[in-house]
Structure 1
Amino acid sequence: MRRRGGARRAPAAKEGGGAPSRPPAPPQREKLAVSTPFFAVIGLGAFSAWRGMFSLDTVRVLNAYAFLIAAPAMVLRVMSREPVAALWNGLFFAAMALLGVAVLACGILLFRRLAGLPFPTAVSRSQCLVGGNFTFLGVPLMLAFMGDRAAAPIVIALIVDTALIVPLSIGLIEAGRGGGSPWRIGLRLVRGTLVNPFMLSILGGLALSLSGLVLPEPVDRFLLFLGSSAAPVGIFALGIAAFLWARSGDLQWRIVMPLVAGKLILHPLLTWFVLAVLLRLDPLWVQAGVLYAAVPIAANVFIISERFETGSRPIAVAIVISTALAALTYPFAIWAISG
């Protein structure tokens, strides 16, 4: 490896500072078209499942490849190419973390009080409101829409999602199920977080960024080639699973639609209000926060619910519907924040 030398890319805007010089924004049509290939691949996966070409066993294999191999390569490369000063915004991190925890807590309270659900089930339903498909949709869409400027918010969003929301949800479910002492639950959560492939890729990218080392070109090309397959493989598998879940599921609209509306409408609106109105962050961070919040419900919410038997069927249907509707709502979010 060699150290970075010469001129470095201008870092992303930080709180309190002026906006950096940026290339001219692409036309609105190009911005809206950015998301089209991703949702088209989801449709292709659903069509393939409808034709009987793939089963849920295929989904597990494709997801394992995308989740454990390809996506961490993508994250590692994106992070290693940015100076550490551009990778952190404490105010943005605090806002996104507090928003996620607040939405999760309010959801648990509402599902417990109004629906009378058991605590673990209420946690799973509430995770739908904040747990987005950020890895397979959010990261590639933000990179396509914002370019390398997205590196900093992507890092922070990944930390919020993988190191806070997912472990917290699992811990609350286990606590509600009486899954051992708080010490044992905390130990399992810490261990699971530290060996999470995304956390390892984040730590590796941070180490490279802090050291100032540049990846050798063959390694960089390898990571680019491997990481580029994460989104197509992951969302193709999601399309297969979405069709199979929808075909076998019972569309319980009064249960499903609040989950979908909460994720696609409430979460992005709250994020915009906090970042743009209350905190008045630079437009770069507002755009990134809204795009992070506007993605549909993540498949891992279903996986966690299935594992802990907290009523996974409505969640599966909510994932299907939110993914389908996101083909309309996500381009609208891009248009809205671009104005």
Structure 2
Amino acid sequence: MHAVLNVALPVFAIILAGFLSGKMRLLGPASSEALNKYVYWMALPALLFVGTARRPLAELLNWPFIGAFLGAMLAVYLLGAVLGRLLHGEKSPIMCMQGLTACFSNTGYMGIPLFVAAFGTDNLGPPILATVIMSAIMVGIAVIWLELARSHGHGLGKTVVQVGTAISKNPLILSTAAGMAWSFLLPGVDLPRPVITFCELVGAGAGPCALVAIGLFLSTRRLNANLGEISWIVALKLLLQPVLTWYLIEALFPMDPFWASSAIILAALPTGALTFVVAQQYEMYVERTSAAILISTILSTVTLSYLLALYAPPA
């Protein structure tokens, strides 16, 4: 109960504050755009860089965590795409977006702030690793799928180059890669104090700004979507994915309790806003993606509160 009151409640209260600010027009679309850019280009990269540079590389490359978290996500991705075909007769591009929406956790904008509140800034290894997986692997798979569907199977080489170029410009990937390079090349050597202070000051805004940005985003969304379809997508995201993650940990990928509980909590996060970015980029599935983000974020107040009550340390 302490975790719910001390961690989950403040996190969702900040999202609610952003939502009400948007509805009351205290902060408009320009504010939302500015907050998103600040978080994406400055705050999160600073937090990711200092978080990876000050940790041993072996800790960040936690292969059992990768196996359980990524394995469950890929299974849900495939199941979501198959259900889209069986239940709604959708074609390949929409199947891709259904699967992506059903499995893509909001690790950057919600996972990292949640872990800062629940476990402290010294325990950001799991959400950092999860964010890299989401940004590099899952977005990469979706873009390749959509480009192949658009080109009818031609131009794979060009598609791969485009995906690689996009990933190489991603500030979340670049900052993580820079931090890992420092950890690998200079093991045991701490960052200069001014760099640490800069990153901590800038990164401190990542959590609240990201959560307010989520609330502002949700305040602009309307449920113009098939609620039956959105219901099974949200059920896969909030219920099946964490259960599959738990099963893979128990059956195939045992790990220490902190990383195990982290994998389950991160798998239970609501659908991430990057799915909306992909949908907008390819001009498809936009309304249904935004509806899934909205509903999964609202319902995650219940599921995440339950998981935090189980796994977060007592206050």
Calculate the TM-score normalised by the size of structure 2: 0.92
1:139 to 103, 112, 124: 112
Tell me by how many angstroms 1:251 deviates. Answer: 5.0
Tell me by how many angstroms 1:280 deviates. Answer: 3.1
Please name the residue that 2:191 is paired with.
215
The code of the aligned residue for 1:194 comes to S
Match status 1:82 vs 2:55: yes
1:154 to 127, 130, 137: 127
Structure-1 separation of matches of 2:146 and 2:96: 6
Structure-2 separation of matches of 1:113 and 1:78: 43
Structure-2 separation of matches of 1:280 and 1:203: 26
**Structure 1 residues 1-339: aligned runs within 5 Å:** 28-30=1-3, 32-147=5-120, 150-178=123-151, 181-210=155-184, 211-212=186-187, 213-246=189-222, 249-250=223-224, 252-337=226-311
Paired residue secondary structure (1:34): helix
Query: Given that residues 22 and 220 in structure 2 are in contact (C-alpha distance below 8 angstroms), is that contact kept between their aligned partners in structure 1?
Result: yes
Query: Given that residues 79 and 206 in structure 1 are in contact (C-alpha distance below 8 angstroms), is that contact kept between their aligned partners in structure 2?
Result: yes
Tell me by how many angstroms 1:56 deviates. Answer: 2.9
Larger relative contact order (Cα-Cα within 8 Å, sequence gap ≥ 6):
2
RMSD: 1.9
The code of the aligned residue for 2:56 comes to P
Change in 2 beyond 3 A, CA 1:189/1:331: same
Tell me by how many angstroms 1:36 deviates. Answer: 2.0
Query: Given that residues 271 and 292 in structure 2 are in contact (C-alpha distance below 8 angstroms), is that contact kept between their aligned partners in structure 1?
Result: yes
Paired residue secondary structure (2:126): helix
Query: Given that residues 31 and 145 in structure 1 are in contact (C-alpha distance below 8 angstroms), is that contact kept between their aligned partners in structure 2?
Result: no
Structure-2 separation of matches of 1:334 and 1:59: 28
Structure-2 separation of matches of 1:152 and 1:276: 21
The code of the aligned residue for 2:43 comes to A
Q: Deviations over 1:110-142 (max 9, x none)?
A: 212221112111111111111111101111212
The code of the aligned residue for 2:209 comes to V
Paired residue secondary structure (2:209): helix
Q: Deviations over 1:128-161 (max 9, x none)?
A: 1111111011112123323356333233212211
Change in 2 beyond 3 A, CA 1:269/1:295: same
Gaps of 5+ in 2: none
The code of the aligned residue for 1:153 comes to P
Structure-2 separation of matches of 1:304 and 1:58: 21
Structure-2 separation of matches of 1:164 and 1:251: 28
Q: Deviations over 1:157-178 (max 9, x none)?
A: 1221111011111111121122
Paired residue secondary structure (2:163): helix
Tell me by how many angstroms 1:266 deviates. Answer: 1.0
Fraction of identical pairs, as percent: 27
Structure-1 separation of matches of 2:70 and 2:302: 27
Q: Deviations over 1:188-214 (max 9, x none)?
A: 111111221111111111122121331
The structure with the greater share of residues assigned to helix is 2
Change in 2 beyond 3 A, CA 1:150/1:133: same
Tell me by how many angstroms 1:83 deviates. Answer: 1.9
Tell me by how many angstroms 1:326 deviates. Answer: 1.4
Q: Deviations over 1:21-46 (max 9, x none)?
A: xxxxxxx5146521222211110111
The code of the aligned residue for 1:239 comes to G
Count residues in correspondence. 310
Query: Given that residues 80 and 233 in structure 2 are in contact (C-alpha distance below 8 angstroms), is that contact kept between their aligned partners in structure 1?
Result: no
Structure-1 separation of matches of 2:300 and 2:290: 15
Larger deviation, residues 322-331 vs 87-96: 87-96
Tell me by how many angstroms 1:58 deviates. Answer: 2.9
Structure-2 separation of matches of 1:260 and 1:234: 21
Structure-1 separation of matches of 2:294 and 2:127: 24
Q: Deviations over 1:92-117 (max 9, x none)?
A: 22332232222212221221222111
Larger deviation, residues 307-316 vs 99-108: 99-108
Gaps of 5+ in 1: 1-27
Structure-2 separation of matches of 1:92 and 1:160: 11
Structure-1 separation of matches of 2:104 and 2:236: 11
Larger deviation, residues 309-318 vs 173-182: 173-182
Structure-1 separation of matches of 2:125 and 2:274: 24
The code of the aligned residue for 1:244 comes to T
Query: Given that residues 46 and 242 in structure 1 are in contact (C-alpha distance below 8 angstroms), is that contact kept between their aligned partners in structure 2?
Result: yes
Please name the residue that 1:9 is paired with.
none
